[in-house]
Amino acid sequence: MVKKEDARVLRTKKNIEETTITLLTTQPNFSITLLLRRADVTRGTFYKYYQNKEHLISEVNHTLIQEFIQYTQGKFHVAKMIQAVSDRAAFYNAVLNLHSDSVYVKTLMSRMRMQMQSQLGIIEDEERYRHQMFQWEIIIGGFWALISQWLLDNMNVTQTKLLQEFIELLRVDTTGWTQTGLNLFDFDNIN
């Protein structure tokens, strides 16, 4: 039987984690004291749920990765990935452009690679597998570079326009997709 957490506990933890995200965005070297003041929780409450600051950040990173990874299940849904970044724009700007949480980036990329490898796992031809894996790395690298610049430019183009620019940059053409790394991506707009 799974024990259900009390709603107050969930709210308190959510408050602490959201405050942590804000602090990671603005003051990555924040102290526990500052976090407690901003979240308006006691030290005892904090230590009831988290062993230390590193444990808290690990939990926050896990939550954020789960939030993002849902859009890379089956195929990498580029428009939904853009939306997920947009929803947490300040955090992703801090992570990508200010290097405020390198563990998050490494962990996210590792999880995305695991998903890519599981999708490519059905390819028996080793050369084709390697070819698609390299193409995936190039596409995903281009995606993050474009996102990073978009955030630096204060998201000055719409998400739809950004997706169109990404598609144009890649010169996405549906012919021959099954032979390329593009078959791992969904470039449709969010409807």
Question: Which residue, chain included where needed, has tokens 């062993």?
Answer: 51
Contact 162/79 with Cβ under 8 angstroms?
no
Which positions ≥6 away from 61 have C-beta within 8 Å?
Answer: 101, 103, 104, 107
| CATH 1.10.10 placement within the chain | 1-50
Query: From CA 111, how far away is CA 171, in angstroms rounded?
Result: 26
Query: From CA 165, how far away is CA 80, in angstroms rounded?
Result: 15
- Please provide the CATH number assigned to the domain covering 1-50: 1.10.10
Question: Which residue, chain included where needed, has tokens 């698609």?
Answer: 132
Q: Spell out the per-residue pLDDT of the chain, length 191, in tens.
A: 556 678 899 999 999 999 999 999 999 899 999 999 999 999 999 999 999 999 999 999 999 999 999 999 888 999 999 999 999 999 999 999 998 888 899 999 999 999 998 888 777 888 888 888 898 999 899 999 999 999 999 999 999 999 988 888 877 665 555 567 777 888 888 65
Return the closest-CA partner of residue 59 out of 34, 79, 76, 35. 35
